[in-house]
Amino acid sequence: MNHWIVEFLLLGAIWGASFLFTRIGVVEFGAIPTAFVRVAIATAFLLPLVMMRGLGSQLRKDGRLICLIGVFNSAVPFVCFAFALLSITTGMSAILNATVPLFGALVAWVWLKDRPTPSRLAGLAIGFIGIALLSWDKATFKPDAAGVAPGFAVLACLLATVCYAVSANAAKKYLGGVPALVTAAGSQLGATIALAVPAAIFWPNQMPGLRAWLALTAVGVLCTGVAYILYFRLIERAGAPRALAVTFILPVFAVIYGVAFLDEHVTGWMLICGAVIVSGTALSTGLLALGRRAPARIA
């Protein structure tokens, strides 16, 4: 087996676990402090690597722009997913997360004038139909037992994916040639700065327990720091289109973890909608094509 395949599966397993760890932490920390602790730990993990590789000057040169992108790449999405996990399952959150390339293609079309082919247009339509079908039974905006309306949880997930899409295209447009590790560390630093004051305001009155701290340590070091390193290695070894496809296997691992550790239930309807979303996303990014094969591109 090629080494990149092993790393591909490992990255999917790690990123899939981020929903589990976030769900454990957010119950005690709350959404904003959960996101802050995650990015702060990731920053503490990644910054020394930047310095060890002699990339500190590059980070200082492009730091402002990278930090700004980090607000949309990490701060806002992490808060949104943490908020959503108070109400909906980790599996459903991960399926909605799989729409990132879908929105990436849409943003590239609107902002960068990267007009999609008919096959990719069909993928956009299919993907959004899948989102609508999956979200239909969560469309209520009446608060549940956790005090969060499922409809708002779904909207939060979709806002997070749009932020991912915008930040990815912004990085593509403005950060060409910047080392990936610098972008990763700088974005986490920017997210940490942006969330510091809100996290202090909304910090829980009662100190969270050891289990919650361990969960957020895991999501910060493993699911953010180590995952970034694996992701950039995968791009180098297997190419961007294959690295992008890791988004499609995240829901598989997230669902398995949710069932095994959180006693979550998976419905046939969720699986069907997930398949529709993944198929549409694969078409919209060019990883699949209808009729004549189109070259894969990353938004």
pLDDT of the residue at 221: 95
The reply to whether 271 falls in a domain is: yes
Nearest to 130 by CA among 271, 290, 297: 271
Domain extent for 251: 3-284
Burial category of 30 from C-beta neighbours within 10 Å (exposed 0-12, middle 13-18, buried 19 and up):
buried
Q: What is the pLDDT of residue 119?
A: 84
135 found inside a domain: yes
Decide if 34 is inside a domain.
yes
Is 292 a member of any domain?
Answer: no
Fill in the DSSP letter of residue 72.
Answer: I
Q: Which residue has the tokens 């708002």?
A: 152
Number of domains in the chain: 1
Nearest to 48 by CA among 188, 174, 175, 172: 188
Per the domain annotation, does 290 fall within a domain?
A: no
Residue 297 lies in a domain: no
pLDDT of 240-265, one tens digit each? Answer: 556 667 777 888 899 899 999 999 98
Give pTM, 2 decimals.
Answer: 0.85
The pLDDT profile of the chain, 299 residues, written as one tens digit per residue, is 567 788 888 988 999 999 999 999 999 999 999 999 999 999 999 999 999 999 999 999 999 999 999 999 899 999 999 999 999 989 889 888 888 877 888 888 888 787 778 888 888 888 888 888 887 766 666 777 667 778 899 999 999 999 988 888 888 788 878 888 898 899 999 999 999 999 999 999 999 999 999 999 999 999 998 887 888 777 767 665 566 677 778 888 998 999 999 999 888 888 898 888 888 877 876 766 665 444 443 33
User: So what's the pLDDT on residue 133?
Assistant: 84
The pLDDT of residue 287 is 65
The packing angle between helices 268-284 and 90-97, to 10°, is 20
Asked if the structure places residue 294 within a domain, the reply is no
Q: Would you say 82 and 28 are in contact if contact means Cβ atoms under 8 Å apart?
A: no
pLDDT at site 2: 64
| CA dihedral of 14, 15, 17, 20, whole degrees rounded to 10 | 160
Burial degree of 114 (CB within 10 A; 0-12, 13-18, 19+): middle
Instruction: Flag whether 76 is in a domain.
Output: yes
Q: What is the pLDDT of residue 295?
A: 41
What pLDDT is attached to residue 297?
Answer: 36
Q: What are the start-end ranges of the H helices in the chain? A: 3-29, 31-52, 56-70, 76-84, 90-97, 100-111, 118-135, 150-174, 180-201, 210-220, 227-238, 240-244, 246-262, 268-284
**pLDDT at residue 290, as a whole number:** 66
- Among 1, 27, 2, residue whose Cα is nearest residue 237: 2
